[in-house]
């Protein structure tokens, strides 16, 4: 306790010192800017405008807490983003000399009002921005807010150099749910490391903190398992439609984990079983439980494959698979799929899920599975991902489980927007941009106790998509609205306000080369400058 207090006061002291010591700058008459008119997504808890501005320019410097791990990295991340976008070189934790006129200070504090680890506060004044957070993850979320507040155009009339005016005021913010995820199915179609990174990058900007990878299915096995090499020698070489497939080596998977971790996002690996296992069984026929002759599967049907739930070899195999993946996956969660096992007898299914739970726990992970796994007698710490049947969600709550909300009708990113959509399916629903936004996970199932909701996840199944442009067509803009369902309390959300803020994302989406679906429901705001900037890069 004493140590903590010392740490706080030391950092407050440092912060005040840095602010007080900022060299005398030339007086700048900042024009009025209004923080309340922001286009932030997800919408913060509280915003108080003070109707002036912070001038971001080449005389700005970033300082961070340097004793708590990760804070300096957050500062570097911000500097890198500013450089990419504005071509400004902003130093991080360098000396405070006369070239510095304004500072951004990223401060660690243990005294925020909110106890959520990702909470943060921003104080934006003329000459300083103070970002307070308890954890580096909180600081990283705060940085996304700051990035979103940098206007598209510099105001060249205020100073002799280009200056970007960030509206002044105070933002107090914290997430609604601790789990705010998106899922990508890399099994039906393979997505390269670079494609996955781009998706992670976009999700990070909207404060997602979980990225679930559906790594295996009937059509392909996508992760190297050293003790069972045929999974990738054979099982990875196919995908829907007959394309070449592909897989991640363990090194590449680690690279993705690291890339996500730098954005304070966790990758949750899923190995789907006992159904959705044609690719694994085709690689090692000993695993097969449906008694049928195996071959590559490049279609889109589900529910025909199963592991043999009564064979010891299957569990020895799964022990190896889970051990190898757990070793390169720092997430506390391991997702075992468990959905649509129509070719597995119910008693076998229950036996299987219970056995696999023990293996997952043996490797120190918390099991997550699609809602069907709730049929098993499971540890109440295991997590249920609700996707279709509210009875399963209610049973899960009664049995004491935490639930991740992914109802297909509302949250599936692979559902078409409407009958004219270029990609996607519509077995659950058509989900236009407003429908995707206009609902509330917390009250979606009446009578489900709120304290059983761990969070929200938007799955993107890939039967109909095979590259970044197609992925982005389905994911954007809907994933942007979903970020708000996970972050902002229902009483602060409204479609009209959101719609206007979404329209203001056009510049960012264009700059990032995102092939979003230009829904007619949104009055997309084309900025003047973006195309010029893309060409420069
Ligand atoms: C259902 S949702 C599935 C997936 C499909 C998806 C297509 C769930 C757990 N399983 O196998 O890809 O529908 O929308």
Q: What is the pLDDT of residues 46-100, one digit of tens each?
A: 999 999 999 999 999 999 999 999 999 999 999 999 999 999 999 999 988 888 9
Give the lowest-confidence range in 63-72, 125-134, 148-157, 188-197.
Answer: 148-157
Residues designated catalytic: 340
According to DSSP, the residues that pair with 102 across neighbouring strands are 60
pTM recorded for the entire structure: 0.95
Label residue 16 by pLDDT band (50, 70, 90). low
Q: How many CB atoms lie within 10 A of CB 421?
A: 18
Residues ≥6 apart with Cβ < 8 Å to 447 = 394
| Closest-lying ligand 1 atom to the alpha carbon of residue 340 | 10
Q: What is the pLDDT of residue 20?
A: 55
Q: What is the pLDDT of residue 190?
A: 98
Please write the tens of the pLDDT for every residue from 492-519: 999 999 999 999 999 999 999 999 999 9
Ligand 1 pocket test: which of 459, 462, 475 has the largest number of ligand atoms within 8 Å of its C-beta? 459
For the chain, domains (ranges, CATH) are 2-173 (3.30.379.10), 179-307+329-493 (3.20.20.80)
The β-bridge relationship of strands 333-337 and 366-370 is parallel
Question: At residue 15, does pLDDT exceed 60?
Answer: no
**Nearest residue (CA) to ligand 1, atom 7:** 461
Residues ≥6 apart with Cβ < 8 Å to 100 = 22, 23, 59, 60, 61
Task: Report d(CA 384, CA 372) in Å as an integer.
Answer: 8
Q: Is the CB of 386 under 6 A from ligand 1?
A: no
Burial of 127 (0-12, 13-18, 19+ CB in 10 A): middle
The residue-averaged pLDDT of 336-343 equals 97
Residue 64: helix, strand or coil by DSSP?
Answer: strand
| Closest-lying ligand 1 atom to the alpha carbon of residue 387 | 2
């Amino acid at each position: 306790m004493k140590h903590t207090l010392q740490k706080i006061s030391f950092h407050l002291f440092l912060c005040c010192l840095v602010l007080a010591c900022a060299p005398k700058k030339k007086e700048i008459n900042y024009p009025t800017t209004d923080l309340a008119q922001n286009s932030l997504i997800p919408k913060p808890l509280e915003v108080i405008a003070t109707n002036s501005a912070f001038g971001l320019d080449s005389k700005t410097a970033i300082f961070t807490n340097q004793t708590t791990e990760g804070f300096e990295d957050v500062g570097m991340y911000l500097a890198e983003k500013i450089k990419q976008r504005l071509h400004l070189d902003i130093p991080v934790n360098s000396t405070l000399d006369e070239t510095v006129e304004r500072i951004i200070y990223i401060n660690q504090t243990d005294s925020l009002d909110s106890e959520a680890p990702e909470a943060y506060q921003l104080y934006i004044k003329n000459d300083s921005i103070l970002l307070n957070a308890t954890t580096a993850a909180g600081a990283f979320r705060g940085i996304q807010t700051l990035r979103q507040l940098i206007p598209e155009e510099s105001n060249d009339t205020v100073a002799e150099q280009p200056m970007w005016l960030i509206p002044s005021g105070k933002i107090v913010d914290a997430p609604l749910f601790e789990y705010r995820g998106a899922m990508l199915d890399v099994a039906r179609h393979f997505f390269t490391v670079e494609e996955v990174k781009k998706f992670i990058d976009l999700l990070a900007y909207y404060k997602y903190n979980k990225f679930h990878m559906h790594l295996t299915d009937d059509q392909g096995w996508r992760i190297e398992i050293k003790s069972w090499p045929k999974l990738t020698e054979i099982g990875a070489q196919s995908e829907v439609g007959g394309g070449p497939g592909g897989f991640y080596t363990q090194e590449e998977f680690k690279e993705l984990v690291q890339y996500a971790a730098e954005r304070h996002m966790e990758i949750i690996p899923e190995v789907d079983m006992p159904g959705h296992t044609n690719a694994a069984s085709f690689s090692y026929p000993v695993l097969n439980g449906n008694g049928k002759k195996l071959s590559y599967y490049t279609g889109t049907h589900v529910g025909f494959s199963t592991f043999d739930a009564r064979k010891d070899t299957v569990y020895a195999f799964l022990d190896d698979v889970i051990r190898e993946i757990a070793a390169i996956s720092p997430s506390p969660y391991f997702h075992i799929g468990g959905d649509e096992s129509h070719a597995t007898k119910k008693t076998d299914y229950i036996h299987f899920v219970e056995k696999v739970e023990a293996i997952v726990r043996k490797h120190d992970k918390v099991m997550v599975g699609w809602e069907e796994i709730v049929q098993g007698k499971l540890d109440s710490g295991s997590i249920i991902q609700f996707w279709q049947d509210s009875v399963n969600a209610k049973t899960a709550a009664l049995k004491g489980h935490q639930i991740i909300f992914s109802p297909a009708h509302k949250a599936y990113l692979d559902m078409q927007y409407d009958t004219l959509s270029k990609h996607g399916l519509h077995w659950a629903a058509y989900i236009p941009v407003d429908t995707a936004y206009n609902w509330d996970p917390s009250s979606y199932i009446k009578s489900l106790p709120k304290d059983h909701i761990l969070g929200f996840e938007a799955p993107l199944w890939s039967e109909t998509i095979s590259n970044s442009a197609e992925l982005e067509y389905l994911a954007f803009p809907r994933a942007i609205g979903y970020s708000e369902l996970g972050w902002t309390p229902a009483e602060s959300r409204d479609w009209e306000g959101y719609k206007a803020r979404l329209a203001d994302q056009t510049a960012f989406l264009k700059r990032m080369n995102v092939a979003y679906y230009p829904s007619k429901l949104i009055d997309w705001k084309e900025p003047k400058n973006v195309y010029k900037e893309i060409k420069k890069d």
